[in-house]
Amino acid sequence: MTTINYSVVNDWGVGFTANVAITNTGSSLNGWTFSFDAPFEITNLWNAEIVSRQGSRYTIRNASWNGSLANNGTVSFGFNGSKAISASATPSNYAFNGAPISTTPTTPTAPVTPPTIAIGDVSMVEGSSGTTSVNFEVSLSKAFDKSVTVQYTTANGTAIAGSDYVAKSGTVTFAAGETRKTVSIAVNGDTAVEADETFQVRLSSPTNATIADSTGVGTIRNDDAAPTVLPQINIGDVALNEGNSGTTSANFGVSLSKAFNQPVTVQYTTANGTAIAGSDYVAKSGTVTFAAGETFKTVSVAVNGDTAVEANETFQVRLSSPTNASIGDGTGVGTIRNDDAAIAIPQITIGDLSVTEGNSGTSNATLTVRLSSGSSQTVRVNYATVAGSALAGSDYTAVSGTLSFAAGQTTQTITVPIIGNTLTESTETFKVVLSSPLNGAIADGEATVTILDNDATVSAGKFNYGDALGKSFLFYEAQRSGKLPADNRVPWRGDSALNDGKDVGVDLTGGYYDAGDHVKFGFPMASAMTMLSWGVVEYRDGYSSSGQLSEALEAIKWGTDYILKAHTAPNEFYGQVGLGDVDHAYWGPPETMTMARPAFKITAQNPGSDLAGEAAAALASASIAFRSTDQAYADRLLNHAIQLYNFADTYRGKYSDSIPDAAKFYNSYSGYNDELVWGAIWLHEAIEAKGSTDTTYLNKAESYYQGIPTNWTQSWDNKANGAAVLLAQETGKARYKTDVENWLNHWSDKSGNGVKYTSGGLAWLDQWGSLRYSANTALLAGIYSDTVNDINGRYSNFSNSQINYILGDNPNSRSYVVGFGNNSPKNPHHRAAHGSTTNNINDPVNNRHLLTGALVGGPSAANDYAYSDDRTNYITNEVALDYNAGFTGALARMQEKFGQPNSSQTLASGSNLLTANTLPK
């Protein structure tokens, strides 16, 4: 047997607190449930748990500590409920441990309907000074036997707190039985003529009552008379003949629109138009004063006579700073009419010119400007260059100025420096335009300057790009972490880091080591996978013709498989394995490392929009690369990409704030907005590649886009430049094309106004890994020139020249790719390739193994010779995932443009070279 005692402890109309006491009058129980029908909703429960709710029927069970109930034992639980004000707080149809029971619950006191609170409106005259109280009446609909309170606060309408009234907030308290209270608000008086204004007193948070009318409107009535209308001051225009000598007065009439009972003043001053003070008229300034009742005055300005034949000229008299009036027409125009006999005016002409650009330095384009006849006066004309297909800064140096012809002189010259280069490009033109002649007239004022290209047309590439492309994938194989595949082509690498993720119970083996160290940094790894995938998406034919498409897809899949592993829940992603400082204290191959390698993640509570957004971009771009060969894998990548992007977009924050160790090595300097644009546009491309026309993610990308940094470029941190290229490709909109072209013009500008250049032609941005920036920009410039716009071959030539520089077309004839070309690096900063067994960066002296295909950092300054093949120099000789990623795509482009399909024999010989175990002696 069981007794149920239900009681309502407190009832406030729309809510209540209840207590349930269960007494066991039978044998001992080990766990219990209690079911009932409720005309209310339980909002908070204590000392028990809700098992289920089916419609209005609740089932409650014991908590973990009160399930045992001995004979005659009692257990209690309580809850808060919400209900309609007229509804009952009493449950019915009890069942205990599934068996119906009948009992008479304690009937609660019938709820008392609380009073309602209302506030009235008020209207009052503001007054001219000080403050006046406006009293709002707050009332209860009926007396109540409990204290009633309600909070209030003022709110602006057309009246503004501080200037029109004094803001106020507080609490109104009604003692039991009271029904009227007053809230007083101070209104500021003034003498300004204005419309009636309003503000509000708003009620909120009542106790023991409900609000019927929550807003009282206070109307402040204006009681100020309109001011006297001031007169307007106007000045008229004047025209007169100048005369041949001396001065003549130009008299400007200054008038009031009406007489006024007080003095009126206004200041005046002359101003040049085509007439010049000193030569054409005498400058003057002063004050005009109207006595009370006066309405007209005169300002006289002296005009100088001459015998020069010239056009009519003008100057102005301008009014300002009136007192007791306003200005209507404040400018009087004085026209000086020429009264001298005309003489012949020489005609000014400029001729077109063609010039050869040269290969380096500058040459000059010298244009001749001629007068049709000599003049007895000095003749002047302005000139300026105007860009056409030739651009100032990269093709020529902009000039402007004024030519002066002395009396009798008929020719002058304009010199424009032409900037030479070795790029193969089409003929380019710009203009020199004449303007603003003095003592002459322009007959032909525009000259076209044609820059003739003198560089041989490149019909084939300078290097075996397919060979370089194949070698680049050996670098990625050398960076692999985890259990290596049976077809591993780098024999000096073995299995490593097989316990990654065990500290968090997740399999995080696989993926890529970041650089010469063995931390797995998720941010640059994901960025590298995106750039690798982009190369395949754009230049698949280049990969195919070189026999490297399968290698490219394998390299991408090794990274994306790891990203899929790291995405352990919709709003969870592991962004790092290993501690940077701990890892960097070890110098040896990954197969023998023993340090702890903790895993770090981002979550909804510790977000990383940049990391999740980049991971989404990596998977989305890879899904496009795999779409034609492995549709199931492509779909899996796309599904995870969508989840990751929604995680990034919903829970905003920088990943380097959530994973502090990453901030020491790959801090998110650019924030996460660029990754939100980057991830969204890649998702749009991936969904489009699947056949959908949905533009949700394109719309997001466009709405989040904030422009791009002209003086930076695509990197593991900043994706804005790449996003702009994709948006220009997808939409063709001028906004994105202008941004991209301004940026690429800055990078291809050798005049000194753009990015720095070495004398050998390397576009140099920053000392740390300078070649990665050049390679990334080369890839994006190539993509843009091939798919959107290429101004006279400028962007494609830039792209070609940077890749050729890296491969050996430089003053040192040095390849910066390990194992490729002439004089390539032998000792990159890389622990595994060095192969030390003594934890010593200097032992052995030379690297044991060849890190084939790795792109090293490159020159540490804008100097072709600022590089040394020194293992300890991690600025110039570091290697990293992101160094090779854009470079690999750019190589595929060069192969597609200039290479020939590799034969199976070439591929076989290349493979043998690629897998060389040690450096040649």
Told to judge if 878 belongs to the known catalytic residues of this protein, a careful annotator would answer yes
Q: Which amino acid is at 675?
A: E
Give the pLDDT confidence score for residue 915 in this predicted structure.
Answer: 38
Tell whether 321 and 361 lie within a shared domain: no
SS (H, E, C) 174-236: ECCCCCEEEEEEEEECCCCCCCCEEEEEEEEEEECCEEEECEEEEEEECCCCCCCCCCEEEEC
In a domain, 458, yes or no: no
- Max alpha carbon distance in the chain (Å)? 133
Tell whether 253 and 380 lie within a shared domain: no
Tokens for 624, please give them. 């496009």
Last residue of a domain, one of 51, 75, 100: 100
Tell whether 310 and 361 lie within a shared domain: no
Give the pLDDT confidence score for residue 226 in this predicted structure.
Answer: 58
In a domain, 111, yes or no: no
Tell whether 435 and 476 lie within a shared domain: no
Last residue of a domain, one of 285, 303, 337: 337
Give the pLDDT confidence score for residue 802 in this predicted structure.
Answer: 97
What is the C-alpha separation between 90 and 11, in angstroms, rounded? 11
Give the closest residue to 714 by CA, choosing from 461, 890, 858, 867: 890
In a domain, 867, yes or no: yes
Tell whether 216 and 286 lie within a shared domain: no
Q: What are phi and psi of 478, to 5 degrees?
A: -70, -20
Give the pLDDT confidence score for residue 113 in this predicted structure.
Answer: 80
Measured at the CA of 96, the angle between CA 90 and CA 99, to 5 degrees, comes to 115
126 contacts 199 by C-beta, under 8 angstroms? no
Q: What are phi and psi of 879, to 5 degrees?
A: -130, 155
Give the closest residue to 887 by CA, choosing from 543, 632, 531: 531
In a domain, 781, yes or no: yes
Tell whether 605 and 727 lie within a shared domain: yes
Domain that holds residue 156: 116-221
Last residue of a domain, one of 194, 221, 248: 221
Q: 3-class SS at 633?
A: helix
Give the closest residue to 485 by CA, choosing from 419, 564, 432, 550: 550
In a domain, 448, yes or no: yes
In a domain, 247, yes or no: yes
Tell whether 476 and 581 lie within a shared domain: yes
Tell whether 639 and 726 lie within a shared domain: yes
Told to judge if 829 belongs to the known catalytic residues of this protein, a careful annotator would answer yes
Tell whether 92 and 198 lie within a shared domain: no
* Catalytic position from the list 829, 830, 834, 849: 829
In a domain, 108, yes or no: no
Contacts of 436 (CB under 8 A, 6+ apart): 381, 382
Give the closest residue to 570 by CA, choosing from 687, 648, 654, 656: 648
Give the pLDDT confidence score for residue 920 in this predicted structure.
Answer: 34
Q: How many domains does the chain have?
A: 5
Give the pLDDT confidence score for residue 910 in this predicted structure.
Answer: 41
In a domain, 704, yes or no: yes
What is the C-alpha separation between 523 and 658, in angstroms, rounded? 13
Told to judge if 640 belongs to the known catalytic residues of this protein, a careful annotator would answer no
* Catalytic position from the list 500, 878, 882, 896: 878
Give the pLDDT confidence score for residue 921 in this predicted structure.
Answer: 26
Tell whether 316 and 385 lie within a shared domain: no
Tell whether 381 and 412 lie within a shared domain: yes
Contacts of 757 (CB under 8 A, 6+ apart): 750, 763, 764, 862
315: domain CATH number is 2.60.40.2030
750: domain CATH number is 1.50.10.10
Tell whether 48 and 179 lie within a shared domain: no
35: domain CATH number is 2.60.40.290
In order along the chain (921 residues), what is the average pLDDT of each group of 10 residues?
89 88 91 94 92 92 90 92 90 93 53 85 90 94 92 95 95 95 94 88 93 93 76 94 91 94 96 95 96 95 87 95 95 89 80 81 88 93 93 91 94 92 75 95 93 58 93 97 96 97 97 96 98 97 95 98 98 97 96 97 97 98 97 98 97 96 95 97 98 96 91 95 97 96 94 93 96 98 96 93 97 97 96 95 95 97 96 94 96 91 46 39 26
* Catalytic position from the list 561, 657, 869, 870: 869
